């Protein structure tokens, strides 16, 4: 069944029977629709500075306006310079905010995912469904779950550009930030959350911030998914993921971070990382975990320094 029809069916059933599982089902369908759109032929692999990247931004801007999110500053778009093929072009982060009315301390959580991927190489589109249309869909799903809720923090929903070129957007965000690093309670970053080939999702960063672990422990077993706190110890070498995605820019600035992702799979950084390879059941569970994780961190986590 086409996805749109599935959503309509879920919504019509949910119209008759109002339940949390109905609500979850509708949201999961929306997350899958976001993933499929971003990983479609039209978006051409979303390489920084490309026409496909601009289409992805158009889609994201429509989604964040529909979710009622505000620009964090004058604009939703944060430009930063990038040299590409000997020329300077503009990388473009998208930043959207949910401001807390109860937040006298003006503290922020930054919930992030990179929307760029590898583009087209040798006439093949690198769709980047898991890497990282899935994480972007996760950030949008978190925004949906917190819509209209009272939060302790201001929340920045950050869609970073240029991750595949060396975490460029995240470094630009931390460097140019209109928020002082000391006012960011934590960065929660999603990169590859849809391919649970072993039904296991990893949370990396509790080694550096041990107080996060007891807060998040209750999420282990959500929809049968094993949530493992791992891949963050220096002695693990290349299996230490601290420097492997955008959260590293925050870590380097002394900001607590937590990264959610799966282990590399056979389609990692290949043209075959496509939407039909995604495991919908795992993706649904991972979305529930990241939604709840952000809510728990907002309510329970405080920086020690």
- Which residues of this protein are in contact with Zn ion, per CB under 5 A? 131-132, 191
Q: For residues 191 and 298, which CB has a smaller minimum distance to Zn ion in the complex?
A: 191
Q: For residues 98 and 187, which CB has a smaller minimum distance to Zn ion in the complex?
A: 187
Q: For residues 260 and 282, which CB has a smaller minimum distance to Zn ion in the complex?
A: 260
Closest CA to 92 of 104, 80, 84: 80
One DSSP character per residue, 149-186 reads ---SSEEEEEEES-GGGTSHHHHHHHHH-SS-GGGEEE
The distance of closest approach from Cβ of residue 115 to Zn ion in the complex, given in angstroms and rounded to an integer, is: 10
The distance of closest approach from Cβ of residue 165 to Zn ion in the complex, given in angstroms and rounded to an integer, is: 11
End-to-end CA distance of the chain: 52
Residues in the chain, overall count? 305
What is the SS3 assignment for 194? coil
Say if residues 219 and 289 touch (Cβ distance below 8 Å).
Answer: yes
The distance of closest approach from Cβ of residue 85 to Zn ion in the complex, given in angstroms and rounded to an integer, is: 22
The distance of closest approach from Cβ of residue 116 to Zn ion in the complex, given in angstroms and rounded to an integer, is: 9
- In this structure, the strands spanning 124-126 and 257-261 are unpaired
The distance of closest approach from Cβ of residue 231 to Zn ion in the complex, given in angstroms and rounded to an integer, is: 14
Q: For residues 24 and 262, which CB has a smaller minimum distance to Zn ion in the complex?
A: 262
Q: For residues 273 and 298, which CB has a smaller minimum distance to Zn ion in the complex?
A: 273
Q: How far apart (Å, rounded) are the C-alpha atoms in residues 182 and 163? A: 23
Q: For residues 116 and 284, which CB has a smaller minimum distance to Zn ion in the complex?
A: 116
The distance of closest approach from Cβ of residue 164 to Zn ion in the complex, given in angstroms and rounded to an integer, is: 7
- In this structure, the strands spanning 226-229 and 184-190 are unpaired
User: What's the angle, vertex CA 14, arms to CA 282 and CA 138, rounded to 5?
Assistant: 35
- Which helix or strand (DSSP H or E) is residue 112 part of? strand 108-114
């Amino acid at each position: 069944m086409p996805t749109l029809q599935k959503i309509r069916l879920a919504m019509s059933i949910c119209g008759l029977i109002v339940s949390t599982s109905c609500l979850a089902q509708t949201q999961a369908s929306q997350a899958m629709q976001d993933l499929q759109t971003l990983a479609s032929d039209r978006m051409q692999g979303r390489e920084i500075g490309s026409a496909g990247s601009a289409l992805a931004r158009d889609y994201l801007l429509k989604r964040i306006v529909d979710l009622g999110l505000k620009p964090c500053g004058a604009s939703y778009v944060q430009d930063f310079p990038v040299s590409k093929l000997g020329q300077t072009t503009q990388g473009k982060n998208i930043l959207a905010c949910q401001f807390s009315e109860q937040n006298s301390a003006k503290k922020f959580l930054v919930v992030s995912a990179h929307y760029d991927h590898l583009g087209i190489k040798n006439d093949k589109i690198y769709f980047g469904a898991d890497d990282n249309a899935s994480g972007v869909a996760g950030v949008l799903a978190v925004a949906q779950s917190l819509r209209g809720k009272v939060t302790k923090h201001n929340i920045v929903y950050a869609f970073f550009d240029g991750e595949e070129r060396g975490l460029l957007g995240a470094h630009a965000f931390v460097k140019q930030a209109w928020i002082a690093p000391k006012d960011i309670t934590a960065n929660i970053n999603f990169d590859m959350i849809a391919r649970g080939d072993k039904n296991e999702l990893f949370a990396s960063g509790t080694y550096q911030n041990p107080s996060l672990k007891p807060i998040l422990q209750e999420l282990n077993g959500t929809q049968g998914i094993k949530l493992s706190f791992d891949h963050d110890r220096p002695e693990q070498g290349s299996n230490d993921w601290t420097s492997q995605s955008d959260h590293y820019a925050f870590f380097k600035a002394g900001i607590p971070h937590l990264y959610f992702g799966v282990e590399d799979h056979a389609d990692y950084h290949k043209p075959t990382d496509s939407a039909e390879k995604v495991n919908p059941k795992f993706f649904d569970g991972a979305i529930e975990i990241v939604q709840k994780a952000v809510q728990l961190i907002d309510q329970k986590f405080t920086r020690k320094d």
